[in-house]
Amino acid sequence: MEWWSLSVLLLALALALGLRPWRMLAHGPLLTALLAVLLVLPWLWALPRLHAMPLQLPWSGACLVALVLGWPLAIPVFCAVAALSGLIAPAPWPALVDAAAWLGVVPATFSVLLGAALRRWLGTHPFVYILGRAFLGTVACVFAAGALAQWSGQRLAFVGGDVSLIGHWLMAWADGFVTGMAAAIFVAFKPQWLATWSDRLYLADK
H helix count then E strand count, the chain: 10, 0
Farthest CA pair distance, the chain: 53
Model confidence at 62: pLDDT above 60: yes
Model confidence at 1: pLDDT above 60: no
Distance (Å) of CA 12 to CA 38, 64, 151, 169, 199: 19, 18, 20, 25, 29
pLDDT value of residue 25: 81
Q: Binning pLDDT at 50, 70 and 90, where does residue 51 land?
A: confident
| DSSP conformational letter for 57 | P
pLDDT value of residue 200: 85
pTM to 2 decimals? 0.90
Report, as an integer, the average pLDDT of 26-53.
86
Angstrom distance (rounded) from CA 110 to CA 95 = 21
